Amino acid sequence: MIEKNKFKNILILTAQFGAGHISAANAIKDAILEKDSTSNITIQNFMIASAPKANDSMVKFYERNTKYTPALYNYYYYLKKSFDSKYDIAHRIYTPKLADYILDKNPDLIISTFPLAAACVDNFKVKYPDINVPTLTVITDVVDSLEWVYPHTDMYFVPALEIKNRFVQKGISPDSIKVTGVPINKKFYADKKTSIPNKNRLLILGGGRGLFDISEDFMYWIDEFLDNFKDSIDVTIVTGSNSKLYNNLTVEKPLSNIKVLGYVNNMHELVKDYDLMITKPGGATLFEAIHSQTPVIVRVPKIGQEIENARFIIDKGVGLLYHDEDDLKKLFYNLPSGKFESLKDFMQVNISNFKNTIYADKISDYIYELLNKK
């Protein structure tokens, strides 16, 4: 049992390279506060703390790299995936100022939801061996990349049992690896899916930035297709922060049969209400769908961590992959006929089975277990 008011100062380091790292940080914070509301928790973008002038340019570089030169991005991603982290010294650029920040915060626990942040924390522990602060790394995609692994990390949260097994094979103690899934907001949790007979409800998402894997022309194709199937298929598109797309679909050339939403605050309700999600294969999005009992449909991705997430989708049978919009058209053609029903049921059963292998409800217990050991 943790002593009252003893471990209150917790630092969570994250980054803006994709929304999943920040959403995991917020989910971890919520889990801790649910167990102990007196905890003092700071969520900090490690780039802002270590190299604030470089943050915006690095985020833009990441976005351009993943969008326009995925082959180059993947070269470095898969190099780091199998590259022993002890030989990677890039993080030393960011450690000095981050170390000053950590010393100033004097945390009782440091949690990292981004691999480079975890690297900096490891370097901090080497530099200050007398500061016995426990460290936890939260892996936010279904990956076993060595870029997340450092010798002074005390505990890991991993997304699936397979990832734990792979890390054990790489020499990490099984006792330090907890299978929690990717931490997400509990509002997405649902025990079962309520369906409407003879009705398929599809939610189409483009992520926080509203960048879709389907074209605007294809959205109009869906709208035209629904002319004959309004009673059996319900489609909603959430454009997020993509105001240009929202304006095109609602003002310039309004869709007739599709509901279009901009930025929403009730995403958890939407994901739980719909039967299927056409979305991007990000780690957080995937686990929001899993906890909501909603199978995902994603385009075969081009960048490293999303490729790994897509493999997980196939291996666990929790969703479908498509190669192009012609593939996606075939899915729409099958919806009105009822041919898709057995496949949808199959995926939902697989989601339920997988949820039984992760322990998201123990996140706060594991955190206090680590604190008590120290």
What 3-state DSSP class applies to 302?
Answer: coil
Long-range contacts of 2-8 (CB under 8 A, 24+ apart): 2/36, 2/368, 2/371, 2/372, 4/38, 5/38, 6/108, 7/39, 7/108, 7/109, 7/368, 7/371, 8/36, 8/38, 8/39, 8/40, 8/108
pLDDT at site 32: 94
In angstroms, the CA 211 to CA 245 distance is 9
Tell me whether the CATH fold assigned to 9-181+358-373 matches the one assigned to 187-355.
Answer: yes
Contact 124, 95 (CB under 8 A): yes
pLDDT at site 279: 93
Alpha-carbon distances of 356 from 179, 239, 349, 359, rounded to whole Å: 11, 33, 11, 8
pLDDT at site 2: 42
In angstroms, the CA 13 to CA 42 distance is 8
CA angle 268, 41, 25 (to 5 degrees): 40
Q: Decide if domain 9-181+358-373 falls under CATH 3.40.50.2000.
A: yes
pLDDT at site 89: 62
Is pTM beyond 0.75? Reply is yes
Closest to 109 in 3D by CA, of 206, 32, 213: 32
Other Cβ atoms closer than 10 A to 271: 24
Would residue 233 be called left, alpha or beta, if left means φ above 0 and alpha means ψ between -120 and 50 degrees?
A: beta
pLDDT at site 305: 82
pLDDT at site 4: 44
pLDDT at site 219: 95
pLDDT at site 55: 56
Which residues of the chain, if any, have pLDDT below 50? 1-5, 7, 61
pLDDT at site 239: 92
Domains of the chain, residue spans: 9-181+358-373, 187-355
CATH number of 187-355: 3.40.50.2000
pLDDT at site 187: 95
